[in-house]
Amino acid sequence: MEFHLQALPHFTPRPGPLLLVVADGVGVAPDVASNAVARAHVPHLDALTSSDLATTLRAHGIAVGLPSDDDMGNSEVGHNAMGAGRIFAQGAKLVNQALADGSLFASDVWQDAVAAGRAGGTLHFIGLHSDGNVHSNIDHLHQMLARAAADGVARARVHILLDGRDVGARSALTYIAATEKVLTDLNAAHGVDYRIASGGGRMTITMDRYGADWDMVKRGYECHTYGVGRPFASAAGAVEAMYAESDTGDQYLDPFVIVDAVGIPVGTMADGDAVILFNFRGDRAIEISRAYEEPDFAVFDRGPHPPRVFFAGMLQYDGDALVPKKYLVAPPAIDRTVSQYLCAEGVPSFAVSETQKFGHVTYFWNGNRSGYIDAALETYVEIPSDNVEFNKTPAMKAREITAATIELLRSGRFRWGRINFPNGDMVGHTGVFDATTEAMEAVDESMARLEAAIDELGGVLIYTADHGNADVMFTEAADGTRTPVTSHTLNPVPFAIYDPGWHGDYRLSPPSDAGLANIAATLCNLLGYQAPEGYEPSLLSFG
């Protein structure tokens, strides 16, 4: 495919570089007590987002390819939309379609998985156990369990990862009750043996990303595979016991296993079993997929005789590294990303973030592609994240990201760059309000430094976000009791241009349904190019 951009007539780009800043998890919401963004002392962001070159963008639901506007956006689909300039069916929508039309169950991968169950093995399901619709949806699990029973699978085990992040902080018991009912009904109707076997909090086991904490993955692998964890008679009993011990939310609960009357785990894995990871979002699914799938896996010790299982993911989580090799639903084929066009035009660029969001400004921005599009033109810088609870270090690596970015801008080698500040999202997910206001203040401090660099270099800065989170930190009951909200929000996100050379040569003119996908065309315009054919329209008008 030929990638070529036409020059934008009657507009001369600024002499300095263009910088896109994504403040992860920063939505726009009313200035009420629960809004950590509004209650933080952020004078530079306040000035920027109240300027004549500021608006808001849609960052959830159909605007980013999700099934409905009841679905919260997330960093993956947000960066996909920003980098692709168009809206592609994503995650849950793809799986919903495959379940509705039966193609998931007609696939060779599903047939091979249930064949293992019919041959005397156990069919295991691992995944985030909620209806948050960000990483997974338990409705997908329930449909697959029902079909497995109808397809003759006699024994199935479910390994649940407690959410408390995309849903209520302590909502696990509701989801456990729903799945236990499904299992009880299937056992009675089909004479099968289906049970919950193990579990733990999503930030404690299994769901690490970007190699930040492989010990999490090891704990999950040992829990699900060998039954290593605190023993309980039921999943509900495990959660209730841990609730009684502390005020920890679901996402941080310890690994547990379900045992029989004599203390034997009910759901360990053996040669010939099949394992389906039912998460559809990729970032926190890659590492556990590798642990089950790679015969020569060496990141951690899987034990002397790791069971040889048939492993499949809901989707292929990394299309370049082919992880996993077997999957139930094909991921969206995202083509013609803005970076492909700009590389073809010879435009040098950089991308910077810390580990927690590095893949978002690289892999997801580039349409779920690993590596460089053109290594001669691009520089990617990863700042290692600290392995801590982020409310304890709310500044995270904002200062380091800023320093690296300013160095790249001043080098004179790059025409544009993109960065991600994870603070609003990662600290927002902890549910700790004061820490989240501190996180926003760290972003504001960094923005002041970046604006000064843009002034110095005669460039342009765009400030936006990929979804909301820090904008709603708790709900408050009539009696004043506050319940932390650790999930993303449905709120729009800010979009603002800082252009010290602006003299009215363009205007901000967003369409009524403007969303994250409109950013790519806007970037092209500010760099002096017309947007590629078929892209969502620019947020700017000229002349």
CATH class of this structure's domain 19-90+334-542: alpha beta
pLDDT at residue 67, rounded to an integer: 84
Q: What is the arrangement of strands in the sheet containing 230-232, beginning at the earlier edge strand? A: 230-232, 256-258, 193-201, 155-162, 123-128, 274-277, 310-315, 327-329
pLDDT at residue 521, rounded to an integer: 98
CB 445 within 8 A of CB 401: no
CB 491 within 8 A of CB 29: yes
∠ Cα 162 167 171 (to 5°): 60
Q: What is the pTM of this model?
A: 0.79
Q: 49-99: per-residue pLDDT in tens?
A: 999 999 999 999 999 998 888 888 999 899 999 999 999 998 888 999 999
Domain boundaries, the chain: 19-90+334-542, 92-329
Q: 140-176: per-residue pLDDT in tens?
A: 999 999 999 999 999 999 999 999 999 999 999 999 9
Q: 384-399: per-residue pLDDT in tens?
A: 999 999 999 999 999 9
Which helix (H) or strand (E) segment holds residue 264: the answer is none
Q: E strands, 39-133, where?
A: 54-57, 123-128
User: Coil, helix or strand for 432?
Assistant: coil
Burial class (CB in 10 A: 0-12, 13-18, 19+), 236: middle
Q: E strands, 105-210, where?
A: 123-128, 155-162, 193-201
Beta bridge partners, 232, equal 258
Beta bridge partners, 382, equal 353
- For the residues 436-462, what does the mean pLDDT come to? 98
pLDDT of 1 over the 90 cut: no
Distance CA 432, CA 170 (A): 15
Task: Tell me the backbone φ, ψ of residue 460, rounded to 5 degrees.
Answer: -135, 140
Residue 373 structure tokens: 């599009």
Residue 320 — very low, low, confident or very high, per pLDDT cuts 50/70/90? low
Residue 293 structure tokens: 């799938």
Q: Among all chains, which residue has been given the structure tokens 């893949």? A: 359
Active site residues: 75
CATH no. for 92-329: 3.40.1450.10
pLDDT of 486 over the 90 cut: no
Residue 429 structure tokens: 């997910």
Helix 138-150 / helix 172-190 crossing angle, nearest 10 deg: 10
pLDDT at residue 322, rounded to an integer: 82
Of 67 and 470, the structure prediction assigns the larger pLDDT to: 470
pLDDT at residue 317, rounded to an integer: 84
pLDDT of 254 over the 70 cut: yes
